[in-house]
């Protein structure tokens, strides 16, 4: 089942940056990469309850602001200690000048 939610305008996210998007009980991190692709993951780091929207995007990597754990935002894969649990990812599409996230 799909459940596309209108999250923001593309320009609400700077290139190579991340914003927080909350919807109901779900909190996401929405990323815009340098090549203008958009991705979404769970917002909270899998190490501790720290929101990744305060982290640093480098290429396709998000670095957690607390202990510098790293994830690949395109897959959610944990890439560097101390994180070892992957992030959940969500499909994203850009349509009619808006960014939509499929919350399933
Ligand atoms: S809280 Fe994210 S790496 Fe520790």
For position 36, what pLDDT does the model report?
95
Any residues with CB less than 8 A from the CB of 15 and at least 6 apart, and which?
32, 33, 34, 36
Mutate to test the pocket of ligand 1, among 41, 43, 49, 69 (most ligand atoms within 8 A of CB): 69
The answer to whether the CB of 63 falls within 8 A of the CB of 56 is: yes
Residue 48 binned pLDDT confidence (cut-offs 50, 70, 90): very high
**CA 68 to ligand 1: nearest atom:** 3
Q: Is it the case that residue 40 has pLDDT exceeding 90?
A: yes
How many whole angstroms separate alpha carbon 42 and alpha carbon 62? 12
Task: Specify the DSSP class assigned to residue 17.
Answer: E
Provide DSSP, 56-93: EEETTEEE-TTT--EEETTT--EEETT--SPPPEE-EE
Is any ligand 1 atom within 6 A of the Cβ of residue 79?
no
Contact 19, 11 (CB under 8 A): no
Q: So what's the pLDDT on residue 1? A: 87
Q: Is the pLDDT of residue 39 over 90?
A: yes
The minimum-distance atom of ligand 1 relative to the CA of 52 is 2
Q: How sure is the predictor about 66, in pLDDT bands with cuts at 50, 70 and 90?
A: very high
Say yes or no: CB of residue 52 within 6 Å of ligand 1: no
| Nearby residues of 63 by Cβ (< 8 Å), 6 or more positions away | 55, 56, 57, 69, 70
In eight-state DSSP terms, residue 32 is E
Mean pLDDT of 79-83: 93
Is-contact 89 40, C-beta < 8 A?
yes
Q: 46: CA distance to ligand 1 center in Å?
A: 7
**In the predicted structure, residue 80 carries a pLDDT above the cut 90:** no
């Amino acid at each position: 089942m799909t459940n596309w939610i209108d999250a923001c305008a593309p320009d609400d996210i700077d290139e190579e940056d991340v914003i927080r998007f909350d919807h109901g009980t779900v909190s996401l991190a929405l990323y815009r990469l340098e090549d203008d692709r958009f991705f979404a993951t769970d917002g909270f780091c899998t190490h501790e309850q720290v929101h990744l929207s305060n982290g640093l995007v480098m290429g396709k990597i998000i670095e957690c602001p607390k202990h510098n754990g790293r994830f690949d935002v395109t897959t959610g894969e944990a890439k560097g200690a101390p994180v070892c649990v992957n992030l959940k990812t969500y499909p994203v599409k850009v349509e009619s000048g808006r960014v939509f996230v499929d919350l399933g």
